[in-house]
Structure formats: C-alpha cells, structure tokens
Amino acid sequence: MSIQFPNHFLWGGALSANQVEGAYLTDGKGLSTADCTIAGIFSDVVDRNAVDTTAIKDVAIDFYHRYPEDIALFAEMGFSCLRISIAWSRIFPNGDEKQPNEQGLAFYDKVFDEMAKHNIEPLVTLSHYEMPYELVKKYGGWGNRALIEFFTHYAKTVFERYQNKVKYWLTFNEINMSLHEPFTGVGLPRSSTKEQIYQAIHHQLVASSRAVKLCHQMMPKAKMGNMLLGAVAYPLTSKPEDVWAAHQENHGWLYFGDVQARGYYPSYMTRYFKDNNIKLDITQQDREDLKETIDFISFSYYMSCCATADDSLRKKGNILDMVPNPHLKASEWGWQIDPVGIRYLLNLLYERYQKPLFIVENGLGANDNVEADGSINDDYRINYMNDHLVQVGEAIEDGVDVLGYTSWAPIDLVSASNAQISKRYGFIYVDRNDDGSGTLKRTRKKSFYWYQSVIRSNGQTL
C-alpha cells in the first residue's frame, strides 16, 4: 500500500534557540537558565561566574551569525516549515522589563524574513527549556505567580511584532518534563517538594492558556499549540496491575495535554492531589483562564517505555525512569527505538482530543563518522526516520489529522541532556567537537539527500 501524505503536509526540521544560536550575551541578550546549566540543561543551576565561557553552548553552532547559510540548506532539502524558538532573554534580558530589547526583536525579524525568502513557514516555540535567569534569581522561577504576567507580556510583545510573519505558535516545549526536570521546566531546584513543582506547573499552564487567548484575540488566523514529550508507556506484562500502572504512568504526562486541550484539570489529578496531600492555589480566575484551549497538539517522539507495578524493576534511564522493553533495541544513548509507538501515540492523542496533531521532534542521536573522503554515511539515521515516517503514514491512513513533521534536528546541535555536540541528530554535519574545537563548517550527510527525496515525493519514496 503506498502512503498518502496530505497535499499541504508541512515537512521540515526543528531547532531551539539555546541549542543552536550561541551569541549568548550578544546584542543585549540576558542570561537564560539554559546558559547557566552548562553541564546539560537537565541539571540544577550552576554559578555562571565559575563556568568557563568557552563552554559549548556560548557558541553552539553559531546559528546567530550563520542562519542564512543554514536556512538555504534547509530550503535545498525542500523544507516547507522550520520550527525555531525565540530566546525570551533576547527580548526581555531580565524577564521583568516593560520595554523589550529592540536588537533581540530585530534578530528574529531577520530570521523570519530569510525563511520567507525560501517559502518556509515558521513554527515558533515561545519557551524552549529556558527563561531569563533573573526570573529564577529574583522571583524563584515559576513558583512565583508573577511569572504569569511576565510571560504574558513577552507573548504579547512577540505577537505584535511578528503577527504578519508567523502563523504557527507553541507555548512551552515539552511542558510535561517539569515533573522530571523541574529546573529546566519551571526554574525550581530538584530538591523542591511535589507540591511546589505542581504549583509552578499550574502557573505555567495558566500562562500558556493566557498566551493562547492573546493569540486568538490578536491573530485570528494564527494557530497555537501545546508541546508534549510523547512518553507513551506500555504495560510490561498483561498482568492487570501492570496494565493499570501503565495507565497511571500515561496520566502523569497526559494531564498537561488534558488541561491544555480540554480547559480543566482531569478528575484523576484531583484524586492524585488528594492522595498525596498536595494543595494547590488555583483561583477562580485561573479556572476561567484555563478554559482557553489550544488549536492543535504538538509533541516530540523518540521512544516508548514500559510500566510495571513492581517498583524493583524500575531503572534510571537517560531521561525518564524507564523500565526497558525486552522487545526493543536501543540507540547508543539507551533510548529504545519503537516506530510502531508513534502510530500508537498519534492514534491515542487524536482519539483523546480530536484536534490536529503536529510531530515537532523525532530523530536519532548518534555518533557520526566522517570518512576519509569527507562523506558521512548515516544509514542508521535514515533507517530510524524512514521506519518512523512509514508509521506516521499508517496513522494518516488510520484517519489521524497530522499537520506536519519537523525532524529533530535538521542540523547537528548541542544536546539538551548532556550539552555535547557529539550526540548528533542532523542531516547536516557541523564541524565542532565537544571540547569546542572545529571550524563550524557545514557538510551534507547521506541523510540530507534521503530527506530531500522524501519531501520531493511527499512521502512516496518511504
């Protein structure tokens, strides 16, 4: 059966500001939380002054200066869409100013104009694993209700500025990761109590719905989505206790989507808060604000995991506390590869919400080898992505409304979990090493030509 992708399917790639831009203090930018967790953003804050400023993320892949070249390469692959994020700390260096930083705004104008030249539709995340660091120091991050106003002001500022350039928006990247990585998600230390983390998440959910409301008021033609880590859990066995454990595991991340897509907390969370003696400050106004729901659901998908009622089997994985699936192989970083999982997830989310879906991250992190002739033959990446895209096609055949697919990542960049560049994801190789050496030269990998033909044929070559 040949796979039919919709005619206007958006094909592209995804980036985040702190993993590609570099120029971490250029043109008035303030420090962001991502700049202060040099060991990888999945850690608590470090003292920035104690950190060597040649650190890998200060330059990253220098997208700040090389974006015309990179966007031209994306265009050569045939991208119709590019997901980027705006660094909040470029627009409001401290986060709590009234007046934005014009130089920061001007930078993204130039990036959007460059995309427009190549007919590439931007998909923009307002906050991808970062916020102005001052908001953590001065206010205690999202634990403080004041951040709702600061974020809303930031959203309004960028909506005003880019309303004629950007149609697709996302609020917070992988908002459900805050439970596992509270500093990265909500600017809270790992030592925080569950109640503090859920409260901070609540403030973020309210801020998200306020941004959606502003988007709808200011840009009636624009669409705003949420962004979830697609962390689907299967029962480890057919034991009813394991099936229930998987159901609960999925509730742990789906509740974010439930609030953002339905406009209220689901009843299972009321039960969970009660059982765990978690008391949240939720005002009447918050409940009103939450009613403004997103237009589409977006998510990342890298792997699935298993859940079991037997706690002794839980293992600390790379990101989540995963129980390995005995039927799956894993990447070099232990992320289990499961193409069927993306079809399962697409169906699950579509049946649950009946809203369009957007796959905004999917890809394989791997060590690449540059051959003597300079070529990079990344067949493992091609196989991974091909297998996943075939399953996306199946889901479309199942009747799931999929708006598009942006790979993570179209170009090598700094890894979120370990701040290294050697965990490479790109179709484009960047000559930079974990110690900061390298020319930053871009080279097309074998996968570049594979993705180009997939896009050209609208999925027919899969």
Q: Is 365 in the site for ligand BGP (CB under 6 A)?
A: yes
How many Å apart are CA 420 and CA 427, to the nearest integer? 17
Residue of 114, 249, 289, 361 that binds ligand BGP (CB under 6 A): 361
The residues, any chain, with a CB within 8 Å of residue 68's CB and separated by 6 or more, are 114
Task: State the nearest-atom distance from the C-beta of 349 to ligand BGP, in Å.
Answer: 17
Contact 161, 99 (CB under 8 A): no
161 vs 424 by CB, closer to ligand BGP: 424
Q: What are phi and psi of 322, to 5 degrees?
A: -100, 150
Task: State the nearest-atom distance from the C-beta of 291 to ligand BGP, in Å.
Answer: 27
Torsion angle (degrees, nearest 10) of CA 120, 124, 129, 132: 120
How many Å apart are CA 342 and CA 352, to the nearest integer? 15
Q: Is 187 in the site for ligand BGP (CB under 6 A)?
A: no
129 vs 168 by CB, closer to ligand BGP: 129
Residue of 101, 171, 173, 178 that binds ligand BGP (CB under 6 A): 173
Amino acid identity, residue 67? Y
Site string for ligand BGP, 104-143 (x = CB under 6 A): -------------------------x--------------
Token pair for residue 211?
């941004």
HEC string for 314-326: CEECCCCEEECCC
Residue of 9, 408, 429, 451 that binds ligand BGP (CB under 6 A): 408
Task: State the nearest-atom distance from the C-beta of 18 to ligand BGP, in Å.
Answer: 8
Task: State the nearest-atom distance from the C-beta of 277 to ligand BGP, in Å.
Answer: 31
How many Å apart are CA 114 and CA 71, to the nearest integer? 7
Task: State the nearest-atom distance from the C-beta of 40 to ligand BGP, in Å.
Answer: 8
How many Å apart are CA 433 and CA 358, to the nearest integer? 32
Residue of 180, 343, 355, 423 that binds ligand BGP (CB under 6 A): 423
**How many residues make contact with ligand BGP (CB under 6 A)?**
13
Q: Is 16 in the site for ligand BGP (CB under 6 A)?
A: yes
189 vs 317 by CB, closer to ligand BGP: 317
The residues, any chain, with a CB within 8 Å of residue 130's CB and separated by 6 or more, are 17, 18, 32, 33, 34, 35, 41, 87, 88, 89
Per the listing, tokens 């090389």 go with 66
Task: State the nearest-atom distance from the C-beta of 90 to ligand BGP, in Å.
Answer: 17
Q: What are phi and psi of 127, to 5 degrees?
A: -145, 105
Residue of 126, 259, 403, 416 that binds ligand BGP (CB under 6 A): 416
345 vs 396 by CB, closer to ligand BGP: 345
Q: Is 364 in the site for ligand BGP (CB under 6 A)?
A: no
Q: Is 180 in the site for ligand BGP (CB under 6 A)?
A: no
Active site residue 361: yes
Q: Is 300 in the site for ligand BGP (CB under 6 A)?
A: yes
Task: State the nearest-atom distance from the C-beta of 245 to ligand BGP, in Å.
Answer: 23
Q: Which stretch binds ligand BGP (CB under 6 A): 197-205, 258-266, 389-397, 414-422?
A: 414-422
317 vs 324 by CB, closer to ligand BGP: 317
Token pair for residue 2?
């040949």
Q: Is 378 in the site for ligand BGP (CB under 6 A)?
A: no
The residues, any chain, with a CB within 8 Å of residue 91's CB and separated by 6 or more, are 100, 101, 104, 105, 154, 157, 158
Contact 417, 318 (CB under 8 A): yes
Site string for ligand BGP, 312-351 (x = CB under 6 A): ----------------------------------------
Task: State the nearest-atom distance from the C-beta of 170 to ligand BGP, in Å.
Answer: 11
Task: State the nearest-atom distance from the C-beta of 143 to ligand BGP, in Å.
Answer: 22
Helices of type H across 122-162 = 133-139, 146-162
266 vs 317 by CB, closer to ligand BGP: 317
8-state DSSP, 459? T
Q: Is 415 in the site for ligand BGP (CB under 6 A)?
A: yes
How many Å apart are CA 166 and CA 327, to the nearest integer? 42
8-state DSSP, 446? H
382 vs 414 by CB, closer to ligand BGP: 414
> Could you tell me how many residues make up the chain?
462
Amino acid identity, residue 22? G
8-state DSSP, 407? E
Opening angle at CA 14, ends 62 and 131, nearest 5: 70
Q: Strand, coil or helix: what is 422?
A: coil
Query: Of residues 361, 371, 394, 397, which has the active-site annotation?
Result: 361
Q: Is 15 in the site for ligand BGP (CB under 6 A)?
A: no
Token pair for residue 404?
């598009």
Report the interface residues with ligand BGP, using CB under 6 A.
16, 19, 129, 173-174, 300, 361, 365, 408, 415-417, 423
Kindly list the catalytic residues.
Answer: 361
